[in-house]
């Protein structure tokens, strides 16, 4: 009779800093594993602390608390399956990102991460020492190798584990989402399977942490790179997988193959999950936002309703003398369709009072952008007052195109605690609005149907800060602007590269100039959901004071 090995995979949502809560999640998953007759429960990278901790992990008291929680977990879960759990480790005064294997009331192995990512959103060389590559550990007679996250993106660790006798590769991860990430992971893990001839479990965490969204999408690959199990994207899940020893090595039984949604749906869900988790993990349950009758605020309102429920979302119209009747109508229609509360606070009186106060100093000057921006700043002031009074987090609604070129007012419409669409270009906003109108999923707490009125999607975008204003008065058409920004930001293309692609040189230079001079605004902007590999925060770090311009 062939040997079997039963593994419980816990794709869960830990909270950074909630060591006791994360340990409780681990205990609950262990109880499920025990009831299922598992040999081992596998949890994700740095699970006990949550991920990413950034410099919090450098605090000795935090390290001590995490290690104490792992020791307690070992003692409390001594009479059942082994546990693999990510957490810190200390060796000779050095701090490591580690994977602890617990069995029989104690730690029986501790794997130290070797390759420390130091690009994109990761800065692990600042935090951890690099561990030596070593051989597999043994659980109930099966030799398991655990490359930790980045270790599996390189061939050497998996090859060493195979050469030293590993029979199964179990890879614990904290791998955040960006567009195309599931396919990238699959291709890399298939490479590790083909190189080693071993089955591989890719176990990833799920949930939002500040700007990052961990999307799960855990999977089990059999030798040859064949997919045996695909866990869902963006959902907590506990899955039991049974491996059988065969003449060709260990093979996993076929299980659920959850579909990975297309990018448009994945982006939207990432924004909803990130917003909901940011609210929950920072202690908020209700949100407020300015609803202008434009597409950006309408999409954020829909995301907020889907994340929190319409009963927990307050929309506010803040009309000025330049606000069109159709904008008010569209905002009201959107709020009604979503089932959210909507209030109206006209800003005219406050604007007049502010201008009267400033008039002695403004005397002899012409009215212009200062007076336009004053309207936005009054709106920001009133929305923040509502946020403070009622404990509702203010959501800001600027898209990536606006954030890139500074088409936003600091201390005005940029006010807020979170921006779920910060990494979504304007042209994609239109696609997102249509997708949400045409689709509804069980995870959405908002209603089905057309929640964003058609006129919001089709009318020319406008800040409505002066008579007959449109965005295209100051900016190139969004399809042109976004294509140039995609080159400058996402691809780090030169001006000459973009001119060669057919763009007008003067337009490219103008966009480049706007991009650089808006850095100070982005530095002070609210965090927002990361959807790309060049999100404005940790992915793209540029100086604020910067005189360099591309001379080509």
pLDDT tens for 158-175 read 999 999 999 999 999 999
> Which residue has better confidence, 17 or 475?
17
The bridge status of strand 4-11 relative to strand 237-246 is antiparallel
Say yes or no to pLDDT of 533 above 80. Answer: yes
User: What digits encode the pLDDT tens for the residues 444-453?
Assistant: 999 999 999 9
Task: State the average pLDDT for the chain.
Answer: 95
CA 212 – CA 271 distance, rounded (Å): 10
Mean pLDDT on 218-231: 97
Q: Which residues contact 390 (CB under 8 A, 6 or more apart)?
A: 286, 288, 314
Mean pLDDT confidence for 26-37: 98
pLDDT computed for residue 513 by the predictor: 96
pLDDT for the residue 225: 93
Which tokens belong to 102? 């617990």
- Check whether 472 has a pLDDT greater than 80: no
Per-residue pLDDT of 512-521, as tens digits, reads: 999 999 999 9
Domain ranges of the chain: 4-260, 264-466
Q: Which CATH number fits domain 4-260: 3.40.50.300, 3.40.50.720, 3.30.1300.10, 3.60.110.10?
A: 3.60.110.10
Q: Are 264 and 432 in contact (CB under 8 A)?
A: yes
Do domains 4-260 and 264-466 share one topology? The answer is no
- Active-site positions read 45, 113, 149
Q: Among residues of the chain, what percentage have pLDDT more than 90?
A: 94
* Percent of the chain whose pLDDT exceeds 70: 98
Instruction: Pinpoint the alpha helices (H) of 291-368.
Output: 295-308, 325-338, 348-362
What pLDDT does residue 466 have?
A: 66
122 has a pLDDT exceeding 90: yes
Q: Is the peptide bond before 52 cis (omega within 30 degrees of 0)?
A: yes
Q: What φ, ψ does residue 315 adopt, rounded to 5°?
A: -105, 140
From the list 147, 173, 174, 178, the residue with the least C-alpha distance to 162 is 147
Instruction: Kindly report, residue by residue over 268-326, the tens digit of the pLDDT.
Output: 999 999 999 999 999 999 999 999 999 999 999 999 999 999 999 999 999 988 878 88
Predicted pLDDT at 95: 98
Nearest in space to 202 (alpha carbons), one of 215, 177, 221, 222: 221
Report pLDDT digits (tens) over 123-148: 999 999 999 998 999 999 999 999 99
Residue closest to 45 by CA, chosen among 117, 132, 137, 136: 117
Distance, in Å, from the CA atom of 411 to the CA atom of 51, rounded to the nearest integer, reads: 31
How many Å apart are CA 181 and CA 216, to the nearest integer? 11
Would you state the structure tokens that stand for residue 342, as one six-digit string?
A: 């909507």
Domain 264-466, CATH: 3.40.50.620
Sheet architecture: strand order including 200-204? 137-139, 142-145, 168-173, 200-204, 219-222, 226-230
H-helix or E-strand spanning residue 144: strand 142-145
User: Residue 463: pLDDT above 80?
Assistant: no
Q: Which residues of 225-242 are buried (b: 16+ CB within 10 A; e: fewer)?
A: eebbbbbbbbbbbbbbbb
Q: Where are the beta strands (DSSP E) in 154-273?
A: 168-173, 200-204, 206-209, 212-215, 219-222, 226-230, 237-246, 249-252
Give the span between the Cα atoms of 212 and 16, in whole angstroms.
Answer: 12
pLDDT band at 56 (very low <50, low <70, confident <90, very high): very high
Q: What is the mean pLDDT of residues 321-334?
A: 88
Determine the distance from the C-alpha atom of residue 531 to the mean position of all C-alpha atoms in its chain, rounded to a whole number: 7
Could you give the angle at the alpha carbon of 130 between the alpha carbons of 125 and 136, nearest 5°?
Answer: 140
pLDDT in tens, 334-383: 999 999 999 999 999 999 999 999 999 999 999 999 999 999 999 999 99
Extract the tokens encoding 369.
Answer: 């952008």
The CA-based diameter of the chain, rounded to the nearest angstrom, is 95
| The pLDDT value given to residue 468 | 65
Cα-Cα-Cα-Cα torsion 183, 188, 193, 196, nearest 10 degrees, comes to 180
Q: For position 324, what pLDDT does the model report?
A: 82
* Structure confidence at residue 326 (pLDDT): 87
Look at the block and give the residue holding tokens 């999923």: 441
Report DSSP letters for 225-247, one per residue.
TEEEEEPPBSS-EEEEEEEEEET
113 — pLDDT class (breaks 50, 70, 90): very high
Given a cut of 90, is residue 400 above it in pLDDT? yes
**Mean pLDDT throughout 409-414?**
95
pLDDT tops 70 at residue 469: no
């Amino acid at each position: 009779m062939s040997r079997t090995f039963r593994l419980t995979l816990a794709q869960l949502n830990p909270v950074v800093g909630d060591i006791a809560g994360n340990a409780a999640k681990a205990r609950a998953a262990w109880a499920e594993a025990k009831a299922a007759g598992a040999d081992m429960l596998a949890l994700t990278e740095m699970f006990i602390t949550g991920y990413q901790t950034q410099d919090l992990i450098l605090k000795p008291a935090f390290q001590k608390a995490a290690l104490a929680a792992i020791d307690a977990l070992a003692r409390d879960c001594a009479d059942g399956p082994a546990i693999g759990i990510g957490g810190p480790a200390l060796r000779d005064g050095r701090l490591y990102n580690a994977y602890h294997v617990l069995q029989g009331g104690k730690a029986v192995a501790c794997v130290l991460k070797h390759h420390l990512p130091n690009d994109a959103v990761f800065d692990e060389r600042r935090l951890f020492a690099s561990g030596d590559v070593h051989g597999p550990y043994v659980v109930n007679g099966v030799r398991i190798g655990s490359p930790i996250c980045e270790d599996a993106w390189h061939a050497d660790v998996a090859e060493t584990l195979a050469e030293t006798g590993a029979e199964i590769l179990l890879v614990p991860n904290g791998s955040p989402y960006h567009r195309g990430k599931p396919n990238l992971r699959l291709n890399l893990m298939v490479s590790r399977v083909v190189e080693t001839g071993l089955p591989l479990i890719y176990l990833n965490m799920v949930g939002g942490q500040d700007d990052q969204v961990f999307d799960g999408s855990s999977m089990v690959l059999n030798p040859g790179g064949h997919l045996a199990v695909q866990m869902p994207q963006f959902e907590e899940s506990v899955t039991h997988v049974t491996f059988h020893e065969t003449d060709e090595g260990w093979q996993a039984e076929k299980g659920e193959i959850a579909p990975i949604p297309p990018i448009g749906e994945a982006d939207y869900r990432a924004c909803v999950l990130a917003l909901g988790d940011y609210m929950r993990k920072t202690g908020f349950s209700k949100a407020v936002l300015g609803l202008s009758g434009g597409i950006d605020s309408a999409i954020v309102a829909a995301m907020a309703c889907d994340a929190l429920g319409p009963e927990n979302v307050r929309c506010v119209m803040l009309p000025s003398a330049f606000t069109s009747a159709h904008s008010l109508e569209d905002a009201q229609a959107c709020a009604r369709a979503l089932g959210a509360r909507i209030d109206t606070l006209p800003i005219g009186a406050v604007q007049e009072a502010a201008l009267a106060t400033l008039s002695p100093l403004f005397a002899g000057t012409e009215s212009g952008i200062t007076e336009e921006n004053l309207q936005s700043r009054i709106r920001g002031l009133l929305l923040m007052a509502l946020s403070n009074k009622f404990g509702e987090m203010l959501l800001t609604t600027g898209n990536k195109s606006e954030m890139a070129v500074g088409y936003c007012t600091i201390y005005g419409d940029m006010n807020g605690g979170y921006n779920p669409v910060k990494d979504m270009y304007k042209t994609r906003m239109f696609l997102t609005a249509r997708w949400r109108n045409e689709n509804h999923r069980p995870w959405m707490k908002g209603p089905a149907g057309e929640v964003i009125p058609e006129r919001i999607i089709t009318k020319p975008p406008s800040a409505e800060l002066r008579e007959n204003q449109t965005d295209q008065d100051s900016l190139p058409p969004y399809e042109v602007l976004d294509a140039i920004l995609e080159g400058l930001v996402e691809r780090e293309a030169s001006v000459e590269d973009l001119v060669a692609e057919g763009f007008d040189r003067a337009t490219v230079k103008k966009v480049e100039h706007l991009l650089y001079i808006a850095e100070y605004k982005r530095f002070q902007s609210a965090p927002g959901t990361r959807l790309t590999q060049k999100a404005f925060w940790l992915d793209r770090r540029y100086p604020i004071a910067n005189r360099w311009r591309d001379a080509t």
